[in-house]
Chains A and B, each alone.
Chain A
């Protein structure tokens, strides 16, 4: 029988053998309880300090079929759609831009730029034990580029043979198949997972332009766990992604849409504030088709208030993206002295073959991640030190809408060796825990960058604790892609960026964890300097061809927020959660915070569990958004197709989701759910499409749900 001293430091030293992702890992005869739900105690000895954690059960209860669905509608965490026809989605932490959220799998960062855009929908939830969310730049020693925070998916080491199959069907032709199998053998385990997910495109306002992008996605992966290979405990997984999505034109006949380059197949008069004509839309200021400076000197010119006809066919309003990705990650840990030694490797190849409104963009991204680190007790201090090497490049080929090649316009190659050192110490018999760390990275473009962080956890009592964190992160702007997801109809990009984006973050959290009541409240301060910006409307002063300026903001952007979450067990079978968040945004340069976000959100949730029944109902209230400011109406007024002005403020709205599950026996379960029960969708109030004064259209007037009521149901088999 093992004899274990329960003091935190000695446990920490033992647990260090399991590597940085500690919770719920078997370690000899000890299993560490994750227990990281609402009000979780941060584990300061970790390289990634989770501020929230979602277990597999919680993921299942929400009915999520992909990562972006799993993370949405939580205080301080949301998913933002940034394009109404391609539905690029970002995971937004503390309401900062999604590109500042770094996704890690088993603590290995292997997503960036292109893969962060469409790749996040293609992250399988199969075999995931939990998802740790770390809000704040100071929370991740591994990923300094996570200026808003990181999302770490932790895979589960099976302890028995198992098979889990889930078959789900839903509205809009939705079909989702999840298969997960595990085979345990002496000293290890193998896993395999497969996911097929499909969804038709959705056009709620009847103009034949989708608001919800249709997709077909196949994911496959295998994982391995070897408990002792020459003293090393090794785990790893290989994942393959194949996704096709198309928005704008309805259906999935990709070739037909690409080939259709003229005429008007759409109904521009349909929908809220639709045009008086199906042929096109009102051009408030008139359209100077030849750029002569005069309206009326060319047959294609449109007088102020006239109708600008659409003649670009299905393809001109459609975005088609094929994603092909392979990734491999692995880590190995070994006992070293009284501590541990860890090696980690990550490789990813991400290909994107895309068609953006006649323009072509084909990108290939390669990423490597290498890490060697050790965690050692030195006296009463637990010290972690390590070196990392990160490599990523992007190579693209493309053509403007008129066919002009623009190969390699956003190519880049970043090489970043780095080293880090962290010390953890518990004072006063664990009442106060302190973690200080610093990392230094030598970026091949932006030079040496030092990013420190400091965390203090004060356990006021067994139930109540405070956490204070300050930290700095840095990020090298990558491709213009992350700023404006669609390929720009541009001849070249002028990169005028010589400084990395820098984030300074401070946060304080007070949390209480009682037997029936738990609450956590936090305050977050984030200041981003040198925020990368895109100006896609520039023209070459010599040739007059459209060019894109990639620059840095001159003034910092500050986002300050607070949130509180309270969970109370009303009865043995019924639990309620009430939460609210409030954010303020300080920015002055258009294009920094380029998408609208609310100042206030509130959340209500009830969870029921009794015998074979499990149920969840949640309501999410989203407050008004200052569309006028975020969408920079001052410089670019936005209009509906009928020539009326776009809303200055979005209305507040509720969305209600519910899901119920009945367990037939130990193996079989049935479930039924409804997302957006009240069928609230933005298109009922305002189209996501907009035009400027000259009648140039875009697809980014986004503030509300892009899909109405969604009903789904299915069956689960667990062996």
Chain B
């Protein structure tokens, strides 16, 4: 109980410093059509559920660092977690075993297009910087996003913020 209180206290203290970026993407429902290696997956075809979408590369250290956190979130089952690798499958296959383990279901691991400019811009990242994380509400509208490394606290706060909208 004390531990929980401490976490809540920390969250409260850091809430202003760790404010989520305002979503700069359109308020319309977002969608994509990306490959999981076997079929094309569209967001619209998935059951309505809050969704965390993370864009990453295996040679991007902050991307790799935050991956276990995303995997833990996926396993918790409250939200859907989708990772979109902006590399070819053979390149992500070279990632460390811990990352390969993190990419297993229930996390949905997809690969982005060879030219990801349009995809990234649609999800609020025109500059193409990685890692990039977007949280969608049940209507597939972006309610939080962050460019740069995320952590458990950011995810918790962003999901809480999205839950209020």
Contact = CB atoms under 8 A, between A and B. Distances in A.
Interface of A: 1-8, 11-12, 15, 23-24, 26, 29-33, 35-41, 57, 159, 430, 459, 462-464, 512-516, 518, 567, 569, 572-573, 575, 609-610, 614, 663, 666, 718
Q: Which residue, A4, A23, A32, A459, has most C-beta atoms of chain B within 10 A?
A: A4
Given A31-B130, A38-B114, A38-B115, A2 B148 contact: yes
Given A1-B149, A609-B88, A37 B39 contact: no
B127 A12 contact: yes
Contact of B149 (A2, A32, A33, A514): A2
B35 A31 contact: no
Contact of B129 (A32, A38, A430, A459): A32
A23 B120 CA distance: 15
Given A30-B129, A33-B57, A159-B59, A3 B91 contact: no
B152 to A, nearest CB: 10
Nearest to B38: A572
Contacts of A7: 24, 127
A516 B130 contact: no
A57 B129 contact: no
B115 A567 contact: yes
B37 A572 contact: yes
Contacts of A11: 127, 129, 147
Nearest to B23: A6
Interface in B18-35: 18-19, 21, 24, 32-35
A515 B18 contact: no
A31 B127 contact: no
Contacts of A572: 35-40
A514 B119 CA distance: 7
A481 B21 CA distance: 58
Contacts of B112: 515
22 contacts: A1-B18, A1-B154, A4-B146, A6-B125, A6-B147, A26-B60, A29-B62, A30-B129, A32-B127, A33-B55, A33-B57, A39-B115, A57-B90, A430-B126, A459-B121, A459-B126, A513-B117, A513-B118, A513-B119, A518-B115, A609-B88, A666-B94
B145 interface: yes
A463 B148 contact: no
Contacts of A663: 90, 93
B135 interface: no
A513 B61 contact: no
A502 to B, nearest CB: 34
A41 B126 CA distance: 10
B74 interface: no
Interface in B44-72: 55, 57, 59-63
B93 A518 contact: no
B35 A6 contact: no
Q: Which residue, B87, B113, B117, has most C-beta atoms of chain A within 10 A?
A: B117
B126 A3 contact: no
Q: Chain A interface mostly helix, strand, loop or mixed?
A: loop
A159 B59 CA distance: 8
Contacts of B61: 26, 31, 159
Interface string B95-127: 000000000000000001111111111101111
A39 B18 CA distance: 35
A57 B151 CA distance: 30
A575 B90 contact: no
Q: Which residue, B34, B90, B118, B150, has most C-beta atoms of chain A within 10 A?
A: B118
B90 A614 contact: yes
Nearest to A28: B148
Q: Which residue, A15, A33, A513, A666, has most C-beta atoms of chain B within 10 A?
A: A33
Interface residues of B, number: 58
Contacts of A512: 118
Contacts of B150: 1
B119 A518 contact: no
Given A3-B148, A29-B148, A572-B37, A515 B130 contact: no
Contact of A33 (B124, B130, B151): B130
Nearest to A9: B127
Contacts of B34: 515
A513 B90 contact: no
A578 to B, nearest CB: 14
Contacts of B21: 3-6
Contact of A35 (B32, B128, B153): B128
Contacts of A573: 35, 37
Contacts of B120: 33, 35
A219 B37 CA distance: 38
Nearest to B132: A6
B121 A463 contact: yes
Contacts of A609: 88-90
B17 interface: yes
A595 B51 CA distance: 58
B41 to A, nearest CB: 9
A482 to B, nearest CB: 35
A513 B24 CA distance: 20
Contact of A514 (B36, B87, B113): B113
Nearest to A515: B33
B125 A515 contact: no
Given A2-B149, A33-B129, A515 B32 contact: yes
Contacts of B145: 6
B82 interface: no
A469 B7 CA distance: 54
Given A572-B40, A666-B93, 15 more contacts: A1-B150, A2-B149, A3-B148, A6-B132, A6-B145, A32-B130, A33-B86, A38-B115, A464-B118, A512-B118, A515-B33, A515-B119, A518-B118, A567-B114, A718-B94
B122 A31 contact: no
B63 A31 contact: yes
B134 to A, nearest CB: 10
Contacts of B87: 57
A513 B36 CA distance: 19
A41 B38 CA distance: 29
A8 B126 contact: yes
A658 to B, nearest CB: 17
Nearest to A30: B129
B93 A30 contact: no
Nearest to A23: B128
